[in-house]
A and B are shown apart, each in its own frame.
Chain A
Amino acid sequence: EAQVTQNPRYLITVTGKKLTVTCSQNMNHEYMSWYRQDPGLGLRQIYYSMNVEVTDKGDVPEGYKVSRKEKRNFPLILESPSPNQTSLYFCASSFIRNTEAFFGQGTRLTVV
């Protein structure tokens, strides 16, 4: 089954404790990205990757890191989480250009 898998689904952590949210896709997509969803703001892109070893900042990259060492995986790293990073996070993948994106189930992160 074609899918994007994110883990964990729910995470509560404390300020400053490093965490990683994993994302994996099985559709051989070149393009992967991370979004955060906040009420009234829709979804905003954090980082994206056009292919292996190619990553770039999206609209709200501050406080986040990513890596793309393999085509299927695109982890999101929060080196020192802060309460303003409490949000719902989505990983997405697609082929480049005009195709639709496939989304993971989401990770609800709470930073206290």
Chain B
Amino acid sequence: AQSVAQPEDQVNVAEGNPLTVKCTYSVSGNPYLFWYVQYPNRGLQFLLKYITGDNLVKGSYGFEAEFNKSQTSFHLKKPSALVSDSALYFCAVRDLAATNKLIFGTGTLLAVQP
């Protein structure tokens, strides 16, 4: 079965420091991977996706993610964190085999301290 794991419930980082939010996946075939962000009382906003091509994907708000096929990982990164980056982050993979649904991880709460 296809699945996504986000091993950290919460990540704490100081403003200005680099941040990493981890994601690993398990799929059959080539993965279509996504990162979404959820601010309080808001819907999910798309950040970036990996379909094919360059393993380093750049997205919105200065975020990027690195696809690593051998480690089945798709970690979200940002060189310099902002307090406004504090939010809930979800990694997802699209189930292409059957339903086309997005399979989500359980989410990681990012807290950036001033």
Question: Which A residues fall within an 8 A CB radius of B?
Answer: 4, 31, 33, 35, 40-45, 48, 50, 56, 58, 90, 92, 96-98, 100-106
**Chain A to chain B contacts (Cβ below 8 Å), 20 pairs:** A35-B104, A41-B106, A42-B90, A42-B104, A42-B106, A43-B102, A43-B104, A44-B104, A45-B99, A45-B102, A48-B100, A90-B43, A92-B102, A98-B94, A100-B49, A101-B34, A103-B36, A105-B43, A106-B41, A106-B42
B107 partner residues in chain A, CB cutoff 8 A? 42
How far, in whole Å, are A33 and B32 apart by their CA atoms in the complex?
A: 18
Consensus secondary structure, chain B interface: loop
A40 partner residues in chain B, CB cutoff 8 A? 106
Interface size class of B (residues with CB under 8 A): 20 to 34
- Checking B32, B43, B105 against A98 with a beta-carbon cut-off of 8 angstroms, the contacting residue is B32
B69 partner residues in chain A, CB cutoff 8 A? none
Question: Which B residues fall within an 8 A CB radius of A?
Answer: 32, 34, 36, 41-46, 49, 51, 90, 94, 96, 99-102, 104-107
